[in-house]
Amino acid sequence: MKRVTVIGGGTMGNGIAHVCAQGGLDVTLVDLDADALERGLQTIRKNLERQAKKGRIEASEVEATLGRIRGETDVATGVAQADLVVEAVPEKAELKYSLFRTLDEAAPESAILASNTSSISITEIAARTNRPERVIGMHFMNPVPVMQLVEVIRGLATSDETTEAVMALSRDLGKTPVEVNDFPGFVSNRVLMPMINEAVFALMEGVAEPEAIDTVMKLGMNHPMGPLTLADLIGLDTCLNILEVLHRELGDDRYRPSPLLRKYVAAGWLGRKSGRGFYTYD
Ligand code: CAA
């Protein structure tokens, strides 16, 4: 695989473009919104400069990596030459379904279509295309340039060949891929989200203040950040969307989103990206 197109210039999309370009691939980053695309490209520059400043990469690698990324605002043009497309648009099922129909029409027949979805069924996304055997989940973790894992999700029809190609590419990017099957929330969010949700219930019920809840989990369980800080990093709207999928599709009350989480999302308190969540940010 030489040419990768990433759809969506947000937190996950620009991180995926960053690591693919760093891995030597030619990358097209697509966002329909020219301002969002520009912000995504600027974020990649900022994160590469941070890596260079910390001595993680050579200074010359910053421009070389950026030179392998081009921006594009039209999906069909952006995927016309792609060997692999990685979709990273917001977690809305209908949006992903319609995008995959477009990708199926516009991308070369041999291209693999991957989704970075954190909870939507790969099997259902694949069913919207005429190439379900070449549709797969490629779930990166935030912050993408730092986190080691890629959760590789096989839909019901995903072929061995597609899975092997995506596992190999993930390794080439310096990541550790783990293969899982297509069930709601896969493994990562099926295990992570109940913990975050329980922390929000604990806050709602007055068990402890946010800092106390996070400190217990950081120092007591050696987590790099507490669950409420992590929820702010992921985005409270994303956490709520994932919990709703788990609750609806696994049908168990233990996945019921906390009313306090719903209230924060309704208020527009979405975490770091909106400047306020369980904590406030400059
Ligand atoms: N790009 C490049 N480098 C970055 C970066 C970015 N966006 N963000 C942080 N870094 C680098 C820093 O430069 C630093 O590098 P060095 O080790 O070379 O110094 C390193 O990462 C650590 O960063 P900091 O020192 O600033 O801060 P930290 O030690 O507190 O680490 C963290 C930050 C890596 C985010 C750490 O707190 C952590 O691992 N948190 C948990 C993150 C996590 O669980 N992510 C998964 C979320 S779930 C998900 O994404 C999936 C989903 O579907 C919801």
User: Is 232 in contact with 278 (CB distance < 8 Å)?
Assistant: yes
For residue 27, list its beta bridge partners.
Answer: 4, 69
Rounded CA-CA distance 248/233 in Å is 24
Note the ipTM here. 0.92
Express each pLDDT in 155-178 by its tens digit: 999 999 999 999 999 999 999 999
Quote the pLDDT of residue 256. 98
- Ligand 1 centroid to residue 225 C-alpha, Å: 10
- The reply to whether ligand 1 has any atom less than 6 angstroms from the CB of 56 is yes
- The residues, any chain, with a CB within 8 Å of residue 130's CB and separated by 6 or more, are 104
- Ligand 1 centroid to residue 44 C-alpha, Å: 15
Question: Does the active-site annotation cover 110?
Answer: no
Q: Which of 47, 189, 197, 241 is catalytic?
A: 189
Q: Is the dihedral of CA 20, 71, 43, 48 positive or negative?
A: positive
Among protein residues, the one with the nearest Cα to ligand 1's atom 44 is 230
Q: Which of 72, 151, 197, 247 is catalytic?
A: 151
What's the CATH code, domain 189-273?
A: 1.10.1040.10
Quote the pLDDT of residue 145. 97
Question: Does the active-site annotation cover 189?
Answer: yes
User: Hey, what amino acid is at 17?
Assistant: A
Domain ranges in the chain?
Answer: 3-181, 189-273
Site to substitute for ligand 1 among 16, 45, 58, 146, most atoms within 8 A of C-beta = 146
Question: Does the active-site annotation cover 249?
Answer: no
E-strand stretches of 65-183: 69-72, 84-87, 112-115, 135-140, 149-154, 176-181
- Ligand 1 centroid to residue 143 C-alpha, Å: 5
- Ligand 1 centroid to residue 141 C-alpha, Å: 10
Express each pLDDT in 18-39 by its tens digit: 999 999 999 999 999 999 999 9
Q: Which of 14, 47, 116, 118 is catalytic?
A: 118
Quote the pLDDT of residue 214. 98
Long-range contacts, 103-109 (Cβ 8 Å, 24+) = 103/7, 103/75, 103/79, 103/129, 104/128, 104/129, 104/130, 104/131, 105/76, 106/75, 106/76, 106/79, 106/80, 107/5, 107/79, 107/80, 107/82, 108/80, 108/81, 108/82, 108/83
Express each pLDDT in 111-133 by its tens digit: 999 999 999 999 999 999 999 99
Mean of the per-residue pLDDT values of the chain: 97
Quote the pLDDT of residue 24. 97
Which of ligand 1's atoms lies nearest the C-alpha of 238?
Answer: 54
- The reply to whether ligand 1 has any atom less than 6 angstroms from the CB of 162 is no
pLDDT interval class at 3 (50, 70, 90): very high
- The residues, any chain, with a CB within 8 Å of residue 206's CB and separated by 6 or more, are none
E-strand stretches of the chain: 3-7, 26-30, 69-72, 84-87, 112-115, 135-140, 149-154, 176-181
- Ligand 1 centroid to residue 119 C-alpha, Å: 22
pLDDT interval class at 265 (50, 70, 90): very high
Quote the pLDDT of residue 16. 98
pTM value?
Answer: 0.94
Fold of 3-181: Rossmann fold (3.40.50)
Q: Which of 139, 170, 188, 241 is catalytic?
A: 139
Rounded CA-CA distance 251/167 in Å is 31
Which of ligand 1's atoms lies nearest the C-alpha of 50?
Answer: 13
